[in-house]
Structure 1
Amino acid sequence: MVDFSDFDTRNYPTVDVRTGYAQWVGTYERTVEDAMDLAVLDRLTTPAWAEAARAADLGCGTGRTGAWLRTKAAPGLVLDGVDLTPEMLAVARGKAVHDSLTEADVTATGLPGGSYDLAVSSLIDEHLADLGPLYREAYRLVRPGGRFVLVGLHPYFIMAAGMPTHFTGSGGGDIAITTHIHLVSDHLTAGLAAGWTLVEMAEAVVDDAWIALKPKWEKYRSHPVSAAYVWERKALG
């Protein structure tokens, strides 16, 4: 197992996930770039977004992913969101893109099993010490033939930049949220162990578009920055 502390070059004060996102919520959507996750989701070719009748948005946060999914899905999509942080859920509730919102851990959502055509998880896996419970819960939720799409920070980028997930606190200083490194092989091991079949993977690199957003990232040009995995729960028989 790779420990983030071996790579941390920032040494920011660190808080737990619920505390961190409760404090970050006011500026979250102004500081998280769509290029990190939504642009990668846009590149995927295997998820049949418009064919999903019911979807679970795991770690739905402020509703960014849910709002994006609404632009891809059929009008009748039933979308259920789950998040650990009530302050983030309050923002998501205001967007009215979810049919239900539940305050719960993504590894134990309480949502009905085998009920979803699709589960989506965006920018949360680095906060989990162990990927196994997330992959197992997603497998429980999705029906046979359904899919689980996960997008997150690339482990290489976290290591190369030595940078945890962080935000600027009310006092002006940077605050880190507990960050873990999961290698690509960790995702494959956890997904396969849960019963999933990998059907697509995409990796995004720091390119001209990223440099335009963050000029200081020129030193990371061509480094992998985020990754997406598309898993399928094979149909019975």
Structure 2
Amino acid sequence: MVQFADFDARGYPMVDVRTGYGQWVGSYEQTVEDAMDLAVLARLRVPDWGSAIRAADLGCGTGRTGVWLRGRGVGAVDGVDLTPEMLDLARAKGAHDRLIEADLAATGLPGEAYDLVVSSLVDEHLADLAPLYREAFRLAAPGALCVLVGLHPYFIMAAGMPTHFDGADGSPIAITTHLHLVSDHLTAGLAAGWQLAEMHEAVVDDHWIELKPKWERYRHHPVSAAYVWRKPAQPAQPVGQRGSGPAR
């Protein structure tokens, strides 16, 4: 099993997700670049954002994704996050109809109630992807989409860099980071019942170099990955029951 520790080139002190984001909340939006996730979402072709009546925003954080979704015409957005300090900022933005403090594997949201489920910059904090994909599948209505965007595993490996922020004294603090290969996403998504509808890999380009000149050495390297999944409109029929003709 591939682990982030095998590639960690920074050795920053590491804290758990809730602690880390609770401390990072004050500077989070000044640190995270839209090019990492929101710009990647904008490039996707399959989602018709404006047709979504109700969306679930898993790992909603400060509400960045919720604001983006509402700006694209999504009718209503419910958000879930583990960190109360992040939820306070999301609440102040007013983009979400409901905000819940909960684990992404057990959100407490109603099943089959959403025609869009979104998760952004979350998967690297999960030891196992399967619970996220299963919960998203439970929340999704038949025919709904699940859109997940996060750091590309190749970039995590090449840069050896965990998710991190500067603490109160200016020294870097890492947040628990896990490494999931593209195949891990495909395995977890398919096992949960999803059908892959689109995938997009974004690379470090001129825009990224303008934002982070030190990333010139990573030019053309994959930096973000987005997966668009569709829930079947009807439950899959057991293999032994398929077809109506006589057995041969």
Q: TM above 0.5, one fold?
A: yes
Note if contact 2:70-2:76 (Cα within 8 Å) is conserved in structure 1: no
CA distances 1:152-191 after superposition (whole Å, capped 9, x unpaired): 0000000000000000000110000000000000000000
Describe the SS at the equivalent of 1:82: strand
CA distance in 2 between partners of 1:185 and 1:48 (Å): 26
The structural deviation recorded for 1:7 is: 0.3
CA RMSD of aligned residues (A): 0.7
CA distance in 1 between partners of 2:230 and 2:73 (Å): 18
The structural deviation recorded for 1:71 is: 1.0
CA distances 1:31-50 after superposition (whole Å, capped 9, x unpaired): 00000000000000001111
Equivalent position of 2:243 in the other structure: none
Structure 2 unaligned regions, length at least 5:
236-248
Structure 1 unaligned regions, length at least 5:
none
1:76-155 correspondence to structure 2 within 5 Å: 77-155=75-153
CA distance in 1 between partners of 2:198 and 2:76 (Å): 24
The structural deviation recorded for 1:236 is: 1.3
Describe the SS at the equivalent of 1:181: coil
Note if contact 2:58-2:117 (Cα within 8 Å) is conserved in structure 1: yes
Equivalent position of 2:13 in the other structure: 13
Describe the SS at the equivalent of 2:119: strand
Equivalent position of 2:209 in the other structure: 211
The structural deviation recorded for 1:86 is: 0.0
Runs of 4+, deviation exceeding 3 Å: none
Residue 130 of structure 1 aligns with an amino acid whose one-letter code is D
Equivalent position of 1:42 in the other structure: 42
Q: Tell which structure's C-alpha radius of gyration is larger.
A: 2
| Aligned counterpart for 1:156 among listed residues 150, 154, 159 | 154
**Scaled by the length of structure 2, what TM-score is found?**
0.94
Note if contact 2:80-2:101 (Cα within 8 Å) is conserved in structure 1: yes
The structural deviation recorded for 1:73 is: 1.7
Residue 114 of structure 1 aligns with an amino acid whose one-letter code is E
| Aligned counterpart for 1:169 among listed residues 167, 170, 178 | 167
Equivalent position of 2:62 in the other structure: 62
CA distance in 1 between partners of 2:68 and 2:53 (Å): 16
CA distance in 1 between partners of 2:163 and 2:133 (Å): 21
Describe the SS at the equivalent of 1:129: coil
**Scaled by the length of structure 1, what TM-score is found?**
0.98
